Structure 1
Amino acid sequence: AIVASLLIVMLIYLIESLAFLGVIDWSKLGLSQNSWGSLTSLGYPYASAALVVGIGIIAVSAIIGVVIASYSDGIIYYGGAARVANTLARYDGYFPQPFARLDKRGIPIYSVILVLIISVVYLVLLPSFSSILGIFVDAVVFSYAPSAISLAVFRKKFPNENRPYKLPAYSVLAPIAFVVGGLLIYWSGWTAVWISMISVFVGLLFLTVYHRRSKISSNDLLSGIWLPIYMIVVLILSYTGSLGPLAKPIIPYPYDTVIFIVVALIFYYFGYYSGVKYTGKGTLDSEVV
């Protein structure tokens, strides 16, 4: 089901991309011929391309689709983020206890309010939907990329656990997944990178300060030190690379991408060995999940 859904989505995006290439009219869009980079200056490239060739219904459908998709995704992630804060407080002890409370309908109301405040802050500070989208993509990828390291660590430390699905060749696929996730963040551009990284740093700073009152030990912090170091390196490479703010990048393309791949691999194994050597008590130490 997962593979089928991915293939269907890939097919839809491929058809949309080919259709876009077929209808684009540079002169009517007010852009130079083949200036693909300037397409980002258009608020709605797909809808704009459809309008200039007289296919208004496609433009309207595209905008309606974007609104519906954004609303549905927003509802899903809003509720998910609130549950994350609730879980961190209730089960992990990494968040203040008020966020563990549920109202009579089972809603983590304080967590919902927190997510609302954070969402409003981003909406006020960021100038456009496209800028929010880049940061959102970075945040999602950044939250999933370390799971490749977690997979390798769990397979190493708990080789005999019962697994409904056992990923083959994980020792090869896991580092590739981590590198690809890092590249997606790096290729999103300097603005999205620095805002998303600073946002994560704020969360890490909170956990560091709060750890004296929570279940986070110094051993936990030391075992996870690779992550903030990795984030700092990503910021440096993003700033000095071809997608950074510098008119003349210190590290031009494609050397910046090659260097990033090497650096990501180094931090993959940094995180992997930190996890393998971790001596804290986790769920799998006491029970089978």
Structure 2
Amino acid sequence: LFSVVNVLGVRWLAESNRWITAWKIAIPVLTVIVFLVVFHHFDNLSSHGFAPNGVAPIFTALSTGVVFAYLGFEQAVEFGAESANPRRNIPLAVIGSVVLGVVVYLGLAIAFATSFEPSALAKGWSNLSFPGSFGPYAAIASAAGLGWLAFLLYVDAVVSPGGTGLLYVGSTARMSFGMARMRTVPDVFASLNERRVPVVSIVVAMVLGFAFLFPLPSWQTIIGIVTGATVLAYGMQPLTLGALRRQAPERDRPFRLQLGEIISPVAFVIANLIIYWSTWTVVWKLMLAVLVGYLILAIGSLVRPQATRPQLDWRAGYWLLPYLGGLTLVSYVGAQDFGGRGLFPFGWDALVVAVFSVAIYVLAIRLRLPDATAEKYMTELSAEAESEEEELGELGVVTA
């Protein structure tokens, strides 16, 4: 279904996403209001104290769920070039989506915590149980006689992830299209149908989605790997910003991040901490997927005719070897709280990751492309982006 909507074109995608987004906001807000009206057990908010099982599970939850819940800001950046005023709209969209998410999720957390009779918490939060296996909010609503709300929550359990899938199929196909234009994947990914839609990219995204889904044992594992992969990709952005500030300091930028020299290394450290906190079980699978991706890139480059091979500039990417290998090693020998062997105890492991990240950041910046080469690529990418927009047709800004 996601692929069909995307094949029908961006107008169908935008219209579908508009209604799904409204639903995704309305149902959680409605749930918060109803729960807070019906249940009033606010003493639960201090029951059993703060983090009775320690703080390590908080960081694991951050990597395997919380971060994924806030990834909606990504599309605001990806579609930022299509904004009439990116200098104003990108910060508003990114910050606004995160703030809105914080308000909604905080409301849901308070509504959930205050919905139990104090006696239900006698054995602690970790021993809560719900009838059936169809979600705690729906179970609580059903037990309270709110069958209509439980029904809406069951529907929402399909619609909300569906909205995410709908948009991710489109953005994945868009990335494949761009990669084909850059000659890092076969040219067939850049082919368009009569609606100016990259159908091959959409179909491949669908097939890869199925292939990714079936072998993984649980939803939590899927979320952990998706979050880790996304954060790994995000971790490249601070490095890119740091390099470009040195390679093209005077280049005109529709949006310029203030204090970028400070924010970049800090963001890189945080990204690596999130990957580390996702636990060794997720990290090794993630790194295996990255290795497969590099093998596909290398093979795809070798089978191309010499004249059409992409310029990969391997020297500028030498830092990736110690980065990916080192991050994998730190995860393997890290704190047992995150699935490691326990060489670094909890707390000290974060310091190790931070120092390692700063060292990799400095190395990556030192190995950056020469200024002239970077300027050449930026000029080519600008021309390519204009050509791509002409081929794909006029696109509306799609909100996440």
Structure 1 residue matching 2:114: 3-state secondary structure = helix
C-alpha displacement of 1:81? 0.9
Does 2:72 align with 1:10? no
| Native 8 Å contact 1:25 1:53 kept in 2 | no
TM-score, normalised relative to structure 1: 0.84
| Native 8 Å contact 1:156 1:276 kept in 2 | no
Where does structure 2 lack aligned partners over 5 or more consecutive residues?
1-91, 384-400
The separation in 1 between residues aligned to 2:371 and 2:128, in whole angstroms, is 45
Does 2:273 align with 1:179? no
Higher relative contact order (CA 8 A, sep 6+): 2
C-alpha displacement of 1:253? 0.5
Structure 2 residue matching 1:216: 3-state secondary structure = coil
| Native 8 Å contact 1:26 1:32 kept in 2 | no
More moved, 73-82 vs 62-71: 62-71
The separation in 2 between residues aligned to 1:98 and 1:44, in whole angstroms, is 42
Aligned-residue sequence identity (percent) comes to 28
Which among 77, 89, 107 is matched to residue 197 of structure 2?
107
Q: Give the 3 Å change call, closer, same or farther, for CA 151–26 of structure 1 in structure 2.
A: farther
Aligned equivalent of 2:209 = 119
Aligned equivalent of 1:143 = 233
Q: In the alignment, residue 78 of structure 1 is paired with which amino acid? A: V
Aligned equivalent of 1:201 = 291
The separation in 2 between residues aligned to 1:46 and 1:240, in whole angstroms, is 38
Count of residue correspondences: 283
Structure 1 residue matching 2:291: 3-state secondary structure = helix
1:137-165 Cα shifts (integer Å, max 9, x gaps):
11221112211111111111111111122
The separation in 2 between residues aligned to 1:8 and 1:176, in whole angstroms, is 24
The separation in 2 between residues aligned to 1:285 and 1:169, in whole angstroms, is 25
The separation in 1 between residues aligned to 2:334 and 2:144, in whole angstroms, is 37
C-alpha displacement of 1:215? 3.3
The separation in 2 between residues aligned to 1:66 and 1:53, in whole angstroms, is 19
The separation in 2 between residues aligned to 1:100 and 1:224, in whole angstroms, is 26
1:24-44 Cα shifts (integer Å, max 9, x gaps):
569758x942448999xx874
Aligned equivalent of 2:174 = 83
C-alpha displacement of 1:54? 6.5
Question: How large is the RMSD of aligned CA atoms in angstroms?
Answer: 3.1
More moved, 72-81 vs 98-107: 98-107
Aligned equivalent of 1:261 = 354
Which among 206, 221, 226 is matched to residue 319 of structure 2?
226
| Native 8 Å contact 1:138 1:196 kept in 2 | yes
Which has the higher Rg, Structure 1 or Structure 2? 2
Q: Give the 3 Å change call, closer, same or farther, for CA 63–264 of structure 1 in structure 2.
A: farther
| Native 8 Å contact 2:120 2:128 kept in 1 | no
The correspondence of residues 237-252 of structure 1 with structure 2, limited to 5 A, is 237-242=330-335, 243-246=337-340, 249-252=342-345
Q: Give the 3 Å change call, closer, same or farther, for CA 35–107 of structure 1 in structure 2.
A: same
Q: In the alignment, residue 233 of structure 1 is paired with which amino acid? A: G
